[in-house]
């Protein structure tokens, strides 16, 4: 396993990298958020929140827009608000300082088992629903031939709904599949992503809300326009 350690404090980074090496884990170290955003991410990112240039929360948010790499936040901050916010924007776990290398490795292995737990199901690598095309090989969605600028979470959400078009997917299943098991973030997290996805699809009728139950993906009746121009992730 190869990890990217984002930590500006040498007194923490050096012994942590040495400790991880005892478990066969290779560590690439950077000390700033800017360096983290341009560095190879490896198999894991260990991210300190108190960086000298960019707050770790913002670094996590930007990484999530381009990658699904597992992220564990490492921080001395004890505020539960930081923890909840970090998990909501895509961190996989949150470990307060001080911590033992053994516990960190155990958490990394647990996340690794979870992400590998469900074997890939045999399914067509590409699916079409009217003008909507979802290509699982490239993790890209196109509407009327125009690529949609989706974040990794938005793509996962759309792909989950498209796996069984017309069927209602329960809110809890969506949260546990797209986010994590036992997700405890803000209740509006899913609604926010649904609203953003509807906007990028250009027509709210693509995703129907079954109040109190979940959501389903349907092809809107009547004329369906392509995605609005100029929207990025």
What local confidence, expressed as pLDDT, does residue 67 receive? 85
Q: How confident is the model at residue 119 (pLDDT cuts 50, 70, 90)?
A: very low
CA gap 233, 216 in Å, rounded: 22
**Which residues is 46 bridged to in the sheet?**
5, 72
What pairing do the DSSP bridges indicate for beta strands 2-6 and 44-48?
Answer: parallel
CA gap 56, 40 in Å, rounded: 17
The answer to which of 57-66, 77-86, 87-96, 180-189 has the lowest mean pLDDT is 180-189
As a whole number, mean pLDDT of residues 126-132 equals 85
Nearest 10 degrees: Cα torsion 189, 191, 194, 196: -70
Question: Is the separation of the CB atoms in 42 and 69 below 8 Å?
Answer: yes
In the predicted structure, residue 133 carries a pLDDT above the cut 70: yes
What local confidence, expressed as pLDDT, does residue 105 receive? 92
In the predicted structure, residue 231 carries a pLDDT above the cut 50: no
What local confidence, expressed as pLDDT, does residue 230 receive? 37
What local confidence, expressed as pLDDT, does residue 233 receive? 36
Q: How confident is the model at residue 115 (pLDDT cuts 50, 70, 90)?
A: low
Q: How confident is the model at residue 30 (pLDDT cuts 50, 70, 90)?
A: very high
DSSP string covering the chain, please?
Answer: -EEEEE---HHHHHHHHHHHHTTT-EEEEE-SHHHHHHS--BTEEEEES--SSS-HHHHHHHHHHH----EEEEES---HHHHHHHHHTT-SEEEESS--HHHHHHHHHHHHHHHHHSPPPP--SEEEETTEEEETTTTEEEETTEEP---HHHHHHHHHHHTSTTSPEEHHHHIIIII-TT--S-TTHHHHHHHHHHHHHT-GGGEEEETTTEEEE-PPSS----PPTT---
The answer to which of 8-22, 57-71, 166-180 has the lowest mean pLDDT is 166-180
* 150 vs 117, residue with greater confidence: 150
Structure tokens at 171: 């809110």
What pairing do the DSSP bridges indicate for beta strands 207-210 and 169-170?
Answer: unpaired
What local confidence, expressed as pLDDT, does residue 180 receive? 65
CA gap 63, 36 in Å, rounded: 9
pLDDT tens sequence across 154-189:
888 999 999 888 889 998 888 888 876 555 555 578
Give the phi and the psi of residue 30 in degrees, each rounded to 5: -135, 155
CA gap 26, 227 in Å, rounded: 43
What local confidence, expressed as pLDDT, does residue 88 receive? 76
In the predicted structure, residue 143 carries a pLDDT above the cut 70: yes
């Amino acid at each position: 396993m190869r990890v990217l350690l984002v930590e500006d404090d040498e007194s923490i980074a050096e012994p942590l990298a040495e400790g991880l090496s005892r478990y066969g884990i290779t560590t690439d170290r950077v000390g700033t958020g800017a360096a983290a955003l341009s560095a190879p991410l490896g198999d894991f990112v260990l991210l300190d929140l108190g960086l000298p240039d960019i707050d770790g929360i913002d670094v996590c948010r930007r990484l999530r827009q381009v990658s699904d790499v597992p992220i564990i936040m490492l921080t001395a901050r004890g505020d539960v608000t930081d923890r909840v916010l970090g998990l909501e924007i895509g961190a996989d776990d949150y470990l307060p300082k001080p911590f033992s290398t053994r516990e960190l490795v155990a958490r990394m292995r647990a996340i690794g088992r979870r992400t590998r737990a469900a074997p890939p199901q045999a399914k067509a690598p590409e699916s079409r629903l009217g003008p909507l095309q979802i290509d699982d090989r490239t993790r890209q969605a196109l509407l009327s031939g125009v690529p949609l600028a989706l974040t990794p979470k938005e793509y996962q959400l759309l792909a989950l709904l498209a796996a069984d078009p017309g069927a209602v997917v329960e809110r809890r299943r969506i949260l546990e599949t797209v986010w994590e098991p036992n997700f405890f973030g803000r209740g509006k997290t899913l609604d926010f992503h649904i609203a953003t996805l509807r906007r990028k699809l250009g027509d709210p009728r693509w995703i129907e809300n079954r109040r109190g139950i979940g959501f389903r993906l349907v092809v809107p009746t009547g004329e369906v326009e392509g995605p609005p121009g100029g929207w990025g992730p």
